[in-house]
Amino acid sequence: MSQRYLGVPDRLLVMLVVACGLPLAQAQQCYQVQAKEGDGVELRFSGAVEGTPFRGRFDVFDVRACLVDGALEGGEITVNIAMGSASVGNRDGNQALRGSDFFFVDQFPMAEWRSDNLEGWDGEGSVVGVLTIKSTSAEQTVQLQTQVSQNQMQLIGSAEINRLTWSVGVGEFEDPSFIRDRIDLSFDLTLIPESK
């Protein structure tokens, strides 16, 4: 029985058939920051009680942002926040935030914002994601600006969050004339490449 060897044209044909049948692998590069209490990295928030402004922060959270083939389009961003790390600068306020009327951290210790809808986004402008607090999930837009280099990613942004959508501040705190419904969030974070 004769044995037939594939010539160069035959090999090229096989390679084309295989290539057409398999999707091209996309290179993903992820960046992250893991903030811990006391390291000076924070998510800042502000609001108003009876018209008087207040400020606060989250000290413990992590952010992960992934690019695909070096581009934000097709990537994703995930933020996880330890709600018990919220602070408004006084003991009573901190305890109230951890209670069932606000974040209810005993039952819902973490919140998450996630967006994998970066199609058409060029690194500056509005990004729509899903925010989950106290088991309630709803769309939340973030104004976001990024600067990416080989060694780091800078994330600068802000969001206007209507707390009552997620039942934050209920009972006697629900009246928006007492505690303003809108909470303003802001951040300026440096992410580093994730170790592989």
The predicted structure's pLDDT at residue 56: 98
Domain 27-193 coded CATH 2.40.128.110: yes
Vertex 116: Cα angle to 158 and 85 (nearest 5): 45
Structural contact between residues 44 and 64, judged by C-beta atoms closer than 8 angstroms: no
The predicted structure's pLDDT at residue 20: 47
Listed by start position, the domains of the chain span 27-193
Tell me how far CA of residue 81 lies from CA of 5, 20, 44, 59, 196, in angstroms: 61, 43, 12, 9, 23
Q: Give me the residues paired with residue 32 across strands.
A: 64, 192
CA dist 151 and 25 (Å) reads 23
Q: Taking the model in full, what pTM does it have?
A: 0.83
The predicted structure's pLDDT at residue 122: 72
| Strands 86-87 and 43-49, bridge-based pairing | unpaired
The predicted structure's pLDDT at residue 17: 38
Q: Which residues of the chain have pLDDT under 50?
A: 2, 4-6, 8, 12-24
pLDDT (tens digit per residue) in 142-181: 999 988 887 899 999 999 999 999 999 999 999 999 999 9
